[in-house]
Structure 1
Amino acid sequence: MTPANCPRCGGRLARDNHSGRCAHCQAAERDRLTAPPAVPPPFWDHQPVRAALARRHLGHLIRAYRHHPYHGRLPLTQSVVAGWLGITQAQLSRIENGPAPIHLDRLTHWATLLRIPEKLLWFRLLRKGADPAPVGWASSAPHSPDEKPGTLDASPYGEVVTTNRRQFTTLAALVGLGSSDQLDLLTRSVDATPAIGMDHVRLARSVVDDFRRADAVIGANGLREVAIHVHARLSELAAKARYSRDVGEALQSALADLAIETAWLAIDSEHRATARPYLNEAITRARIADDPHVEVRALTQLSLLLRPVQPIESLHCAEAALRNSAGWATPRLRTLLHLRRAHTLAELGDASAHERAMAKARHELERGPHEDDEGFVHFVNEQEVQGIRGLSYLDLDKPDRAAEAFRSVAEHPSPQHRRNQVYYAVHLTEATRRQGDINEAARMALDVLPAVRRLNSQRVTKHLGQIRSDLGRLRQPTAPVREFTQAYDERIAP
């Protein structure tokens, strides 16, 4: 049916009007192929626009802008809006559907072109001659008189990090990087050519330990940007410093460890594209330092990262880690590597090879802990074996067996590994939904919702969001489904 009124001016539309705009408004916007229209203030109160603003994702905001009813019955095409922004239609599609843009000059240019009210933005518009403020850290409040604006450092991997000492010091204290030596190392200027000794290497290693401890408490969402900053500063220091050969090898190992930890935080906060360059760097540094232990850690993490998108390469990484660690790997490390293989083989649909790999993992686990176990395998226990078994059965489309494995995790919890416990609880919900018990799945999802919210892991939140999306597509949602979807939308959805 033709709407009764023009969405732009509110005037009555003729019965034979198929454009969704009155003649006056069509004439007023004939130039919209070359420039965005001037929109009224209520335009920005449209629910999809407000949701995109809350997500702090300019690509999502542009998509909501294009589909706004103000523009008529049909949305603006990507080609038209791309022309305004000075990019191609394919580029705009990637911006709308990919990770949030982070380059402040582009954000400023596009926000200005679309005339987005500055008070609604999550970043400060970059003024000519002004220092840029870091995207995601900025607020609408002005700097205090005694605080200099932050500056942007471009990490080699496309991230934006801040060198504002006050901002970083506050966040570092939350993480646990509170010692004066650490803060001096991470915030001082490195314009000169400093001399580095083993004390600096020990500080670098202690920073990695601080991140690992903080990750269990704060979660990856709150740590990723700090880790990126620390990595950039220490890498810059190492590139400019003078040191002995022994110090150099130890420093390369420490920086490789930091790169692995930064990659993990990127994975868990669902910035997966950011993670791979850090792992590639870690492998390179480990080889320079002739440190096979660090190289195996990097390959193990790379196998995890690649499994959903490049399962063959993921399998090769796990097998390379097994070869490189032959002769010194502890049973728990071998358990982890066989679990990586098993999950990837399930992703590839090879059920028999998956079962063989799982049997090897269980055999190694039964050999027990070892005094040489490294910290990064601390989570490898019965809970992890059952959890990977459940994930693999989901990949093999065997939800009944997956649910059985996830229930075993729930029945034998590992309190010191809360994130994994919640992660597998969410997947138990998914297995239950795929078994066909929609109401029970909704009740389970509602029960786990508070724990997911507290966890601060975007990786876990994303999985619960997929369940909400699947349940939300039901044509006739039941009362438990409505209760869960409403609670999710109120507590988690932006």
Structure 2
Amino acid sequence: MSAPPVVPASFWDHEPVRRALAERHLGRVIRAYRCHPYHGRVALPQTVVAGWLGITQAQLSRVENGPPLVHLDRLSHWAELLGIPESCLWFALPDQVVAGPSKSQMNTYEEGGTTDRRQFHALAALAGIGATGNLGLLVNQVEPPRAIGMEQVQYAASLVEAFRSADAVIGANALCDAAIQVHRRLSTWAATTTYSRSVGDALQGALADLAIQAAWLAIDADRRAEARPFLDEAVTRARIADDLRVEVRALACMSLLLREDRPAEAVQCADAALRASTGWATPRLRTLLHLRAAHAHATMQDRSTFERQMTRARSEFDGGSHEDDLPFISFVTAEEVTGIGGLSYLVLGQPERAATSFRAVTGAPSAAHRRNAVYYKVQLARAEWWKGDVDEAARVGIEALPLLGPVQSGRVSRLLAEVRSRLGASAGKTPRTRAFVEAYDSVRT
């Protein structure tokens, strides 16, 4: 069969199916689905069902017999594909509207102090993007549950996906506090309540993922000092859960964090991630890790090693996407490869090559990665200034200014402020540089 059959409503009342659903383990649900007597006396082969799900037979075997899945995107896609009724599920499907904080809850935050107001704006941002999960966890000072089940693990995983999707579009400023708060709350629950071993392994992995996301948001919000503890914690939790994929993601983010101030350590993190992912890394993941190493080598002014790493990154990227690609590397596109090359040329003192790279990236920006498009637009303005073309730098800066409204990224704002400072101090200001400085000052004050 090329697609799952339409099954009657009574199909889901079969005892093995009901038991698997009650255990909140989609892998066991799939196994019960395959072995259902509705299909005949012989169970559906794993190869057939794996084909429906877009994975291999070996992967399906691991899903059926391993720990419960926690990634909401995969859970939702497979549940819809198999036609599992929403009433049987323990998670929300993407088209289900999730209520944000109530008006009274929002008013309570508005009436509070500075910290409460920051949390209020973070909550408003999450409510606006329709984050999956119970936002009451962020608003109400609820007591920890006596025991943690897969519901809380699913909640943590769904928030990682929500933060990641929102960050790509609106930047990190409005999300960073919310991510830190929910991580703190769920970590407290994990430390003070009880849970089974299988839930514990899944919980450690989900909390590590959430810590990495909080670290990245701190980096993009230009609160870099807050990022390192989250990444140290993520590595520890990933090792407790024996989850190499999460550990590799933490090392990749650590390499990004360290590449400006401690590039030698950034290289070590990228190399460690490459070693840890030997045998299972997809071409896109290897692309990212070689890009991390390339930029760090460029920062150390090691041109030959930088070129070798960039060549490897481009070669891996040509390997294409893969069904096993981790969700967090969706931003590793052709534009990102070109953009990292541009950043590296800039630190190597080659602003002409950097400007060419940034112009290629910003020529066709992606709506799904709007923050990155704005980031590279500002980098183009910086490269033009380093080239000595202050008029072009001002023109690009004027184009970038209106984009900073919907994209709130402290990192991008700091870089554009640098452009304004340099153009404002330029001798013999031109009409265009004056126009940029005036426009910047009117928008940013």
* TM value normalised by structure 2: 0.72
Aligned mates of 1:230, 1:163 — CA distance in 2: 16
Structure having the higher Rg: 1
Q: Which moved more, 1:261-270 or 1:444-453?
A: 444-453
Question: 2:140 is matched by which residue type in structure 1?
Answer: T
The CA distance in 1 between the partners of 2:163 and 2:353, in whole Å, is 36
Tell me what 1:361 maps to. 313
| Cα distance between partner residues in 2 of 1:283 and 1:201 | 18
2:230 to 271, 278, 294: 278
User: Could you tell me how far 1:217 is from its partner in structure 2?
Assistant: 3.6
Q: Does 1:404 align with 2:390?
A: no
Equivalence map 1:434-473=2 (5 Å): 434-473=386-425
Q: 1:329 aligns with which of 262, 281, 304?
A: 281
Distance in 2 (CA, whole Å) between partners of 1:358 and 1:170 is 40
Q: Is 1:480 matched with 2:432?
A: yes
Kindly provide the amino acid, as one letter, of the partner of residue 278 in structure 1.
F
Q: CA offsets per residue over residues 183-219 of structure 1, 9 Å max, x none?
A: 258735336x611111221111111111112223432
* Greater helix share, structure number: 2
Partner of 2:202: 250
Q: State the alpha-carbon separation in 1 of the partners of residues 275 and 386 from structure 2.
A: 37
Q: Unaligned regions of 5+ residues in structure 1, if any?
A: 1-142, 153-159
Q: For 1:327 and 1:474, how far apart are their aligned partners in 2? A: 53
Aligned counterpart for 2:128 among listed residues 168, 174, 191 = 174
Q: Is the 8 A contact 1:270 1:458 kept in 2?
A: yes
How far apart are residue 288 of structure 1 and its match? 0.6
Higher RCO structure (Cα 8 Å, ≥6 apart): 2
Q: Which amino acid in 2 is paired with 1:430?
A: R
1:265 is matched with which residue?
A: 217
Shift of the 315–166 alpha-carbon distance from structure 1 to 2, 3 Å rule, reads closer
Counterparts of 1:291 and 1:398 in 2: how far apart (Å)? Answer: 40
State the match for 1:64 in structure 2. none
**Is structure 2 residue 226 aligned with structure 1 residue 226?**
no
How far 1:459 moved relative to its partner? 0.8
How high is the sequence identity, in percent, across the aligned residues?
50
Aligned-partner Cα distance in 1 for 2:171–2:376: 17
Give the Cα–Cα distance (whole angstroms) in 2 for the partners of residues 364 and 349 of structure 1: 23
Aligned residue in 2 for 1:239 = 191
Partners of 1:223 and 1:168 in 2: how far apart? 5
Q: Which residue of 2 aligns with 1:310?
A: 262
> How many Å apart are 1:472 and its aligned residue?
1.1
TM-score (norm 1): 0.65
Give yes or no for contact 2:169–2:368 (8 Å, CA) kept in 1.
no
Mapped partners of 2:299, 2:109: distance in 1: 50
In the aligned structure 2, how far is the partner of 1:487 from the partner of 1:267? 27
Deviation digits for residues 369-403 of structure 1, max 9, x if unmatched? 00100111101111011101111011110111111
| Structure 2 CA distance for partners of 1:151 and 1:252, relative to 1, 3 Å | farther
Q: CA deviation at 1:161?
A: 6.1
What is the deviation of 1:151?
8.7
Which residue of the partner structure matches residue 76 of structure 2? none
User: Partners in 1 of 2:285 and 2:146 — Cα distance?
Assistant: 38
Instruction: Please state how far the C-alpha of 1:491 moved relative to its aligned partner.
Output: 0.4
What is aligned with 1:213?
A: 165
Contact 2:137/2:182 (8 A) holds in 1:
no
Question: What secondary structure does 1:242 align onto?
Answer: coil
Structure 1 residues 367 and 477: alpha-carbon distance in aligned structure 2, compared to 1, 3 A threshold: same
Determine helix, strand or coil for the equivalent of 1:383.
helix
Mapped pair 1:292 → 2:244: yes
Shift of 1:487: 0.6
Alpha-carbon displacement from aligned partner over 1:345-385 (angstroms, at most 9, x marks no partner):
00000111100000000000001000100111101111011
Counterpart in the other structure of 2:136: 183
Query: C-alpha distance in 1, partners of 2:122/2:408?
Result: 20
Say if 1:435 and 1:311 are closer, same or farther in 2 by CA, change over 3 A: same
Partners of 1:169 and 1:352 in 2: CA distance: 47
Is the 1:190–1:240 contact (alpha carbons within 8 Å) kept by the matching residues of 2? Answer: no
> In 2, Cα distance between the equivalents of 1:198 and 1:394?
47
Deviation at 1:247, TM superposition (A): 0.7
Is the 1:172–1:178 Cα contact (8 Å) retained in structure 2?
A: no
Q: Secondary structure at the match of 1:454?
A: coil
CA contact (8 A) 1:249 1:289 kept: yes
Query: For 2:155, which of 200, 203, 218 is the aligned residue?
Result: 203
What's the secondary structure of 1:222's corresponding residue? coil
CA deviation after TM superposition for structure 1 residue 149, in Å: 9.7
> Residues 356 and 285 (structure 1 numbering): CA distance in 2 closer, same or farther, change over 3 Å?
same
1: CA distance, partners of 2:364 / 2:108: 51
Instruction: Report Cα offsets for 1:409-456 as digits up to 9, x if no partner.
Output: 133433322211121111111111111111121111112211133311
